[in-house]
Amino acid sequence: MKIALAQLNYHIGNFEQNTQKIIEHIGLAKSKGADLVVFAELAICGYPPRDFLEFEDFVALCEKAAQEIAVHCTDIACVVGLPIKNEVLAGKDLYNAAYFIENGKVKAVVRKALLPTYDVFDEYRYFEPNTKFECIGFKGKKIALTICEDLWNINDNPLYVSCPMDELIKESPDLMLNIAASPFNYRHDEDRIQILADNAKKYQLPLFYVNQVGAQTEIIFDGGSLVFDETGTVKAEMKYFEQDLQVFDLEEIQNVKNKYPQPERASDIMQIHDALVMGIQDYFWKSGFKKAVLGLSGGIDSAVVCALACRALGPENVMAVLMPSKYSSDHSVKDALDLVNNIGCKHEIIEIKQAADAFDSMLAKPFAGLPFNLTEENIQARCRGIVLMAMSNKFGYVLLNTSNKSECAVGYGTLYGDMCGAIGVIGDVYKTQIFELARYINKDGEIIPENTIVKPPSAELRPDQKDSDSLPDYGILDQILFQHIEMQKGSQAIIAQGFDEALVKRILKMVNLAEFKRYQTPPILRVSPKAFGMGRRMPIVGKYMD
């Protein structure tokens, strides 16, 4: 049996495009001699459809698309994911399901049993869990078909009380298929490989796994579909951050060594870079946008975002706006212009002194006798936000936010100023990672000016300002933030690792107090195991971290 894995980039709710893409790849798989072609979880509608699932018409369009796809399944079978109605009145109205289509008809229906409701997942909000399990017969083989999470209940601390494969194995299947929508983070590929390998070893069956690729707003899917033999050895690993279709011979997977080439493991920073470029690309084309605007300060954060945007959209579609204030240094403007010249994007220089002075004049009476403080700093940041939104409105640009994760965590940013934007590009990348990312971007030649990378970070909103005036050293700050955010450690556990007690408590209090700001940030491209946004849900008025 020859099995094709079709790793595709779907567009949520774009039934015409998704259906056409699936039909095209059925034809491609057939031309390559495949007996069966396998598509991803909820491929027909895209993942995650979220509250689109509450519309009956949305589910009906999924079924209509499936029937159209079935017409093309002659001389080849396919597996495709979609939501289907639960015909039983009790329970949720839908199942997360897969159709096994053969000879133009739906031969079997598999429903997902384990419904993740953690981090970015919220499947039990919509779907009823499956409780009945049966293998699928095809070309003399029995196939154990499961959907994503159904294979993840295999560790030392199981999240669920049952395991679908424990039921399916009773029917003595010949192979496992798993269709998935497994979101990217820079640590997830290794975890995914280990989980799937453990399944292959436990059940002593070859395993074919297909994942989505592409970004859906903040959630990124990296592809990396996999094939294992019955010993848990990786036999094939498909492309990352690219659409791909490959055909595998079941007999060769079981009997031939090193038949299929595998890519080298990418570093964390390489993965983050590729994920962010794809995240920007897909946010734009799936939303119907083409051109981006951002504020370019001469600092490393905006330089990295500008470079990523130019790679994603083309430099001709990126507008960098330099907005020096009376506190901006000459080298900041020069560094920003050097980047523009290196990368070839468009740019404008719009000074904000006149606008900031106008606000100072307007507020002179109520502020009489009061010293310059954070208020005047934030006015400058908000002047920049007004300029960028004006450029967006006038020319149809989409504003890219340039705040990093360290700043987002501790609230080092101005609401309606530097925190505005349509999509947060690096809001899940710590400052220390930003420096690594800049070096990676420059690996084939200088794009981001060296001075931008080596100079002390500064918001330049008052004379001689440095980030270190307000924040701990980023090397220490990021370590503490990682332990708290990604590892979910409280103050005592972090202090026990050797960090200064007063510093830890100060930082965790800053994180807690900044929650109200994060509620008002744009969606942030998710590249870490725990990103701000829907994957980290904290109360604004909570006092736990105080």
pTM higher than 0.85, yes or no?
Answer: yes
pLDDT at 243 (0 to 100):
98
pLDDT at 459 (0 to 100):
66
Average pLDDT over residues 283-289: 97
Both structure tokens of 491: 């103050």
Name 179's bridge partners: 147, 210
Average pLDDT over residues 282-303: 97
Give the whole-angstrom CA distance, residue 438 versus residue 452.
9
- The values of phi and psi at residue 93, to 5°, are -80, -15
Give the whole-angstrom CA distance, residue 491 versus residue 480.
9
- How does pLDDT run across 30-75, given as a tens digit for each residue? 999 999 999 999 999 999 999 999 999 999 999 999 999 999 999 9
Q: Just list the catalytic residues.
A: 41, 112, 148
Confidence band (pLDDT; 50, 70, 90) for 546?
A: low
Strands in 168-232 per DSSP E: 175-179, 207-210, 213-216, 219-222, 226-228
Name 237's bridge partners: 226
Does the structure show a pLDDT above 90 at 467?
no
Is 530 annotated in a binding site? The answer is no
- How does pLDDT run across 219-267, given as a tens digit for each residue? 999 999 999 999 999 999 999 999 999 999 999 998 877 777 677 789 9
Q: What is the CATH T-level fold of the domain 2-260, as seen in this structure? A: Nitrilase/N-carbamoyl-D-aminoacid amidohydrolase (3.60.110)
Boundaries of every domain in the chain: 2-260, 271-467
Q: How far is CA 406 from CA 48, 531, 536, in A?
A: 28, 12, 15
Is 517 annotated in a binding site? The answer is yes
Cβ-Cβ contacts under 8 Å for 497 (sequence gap 6 or more):
483
Is 225 annotated in a binding site? The answer is no
Residue 352 half-sphere exposure toward CB, CA atoms < 13 A: 28
pLDDT at 545 (0 to 100):
64
Average pLDDT over residues 84-102: 96
- How does pLDDT run across 305-353, given as a tens digit for each residue? 999 999 999 999 999 999 998 877 778 899 999 999 999 999 999 999 9
Is 329 annotated in a binding site? The answer is no
Q: Does domain 271-467 have CATH number 3.40.50.300?
A: no
Does the structure show a pLDDT above 80 at 157?
no
- The values of phi and psi at residue 367, to 5°, are -95, 10
Domains 2-260 and 271-467 are alike in CATH topology = no
pLDDT at 264 (0 to 100):
79
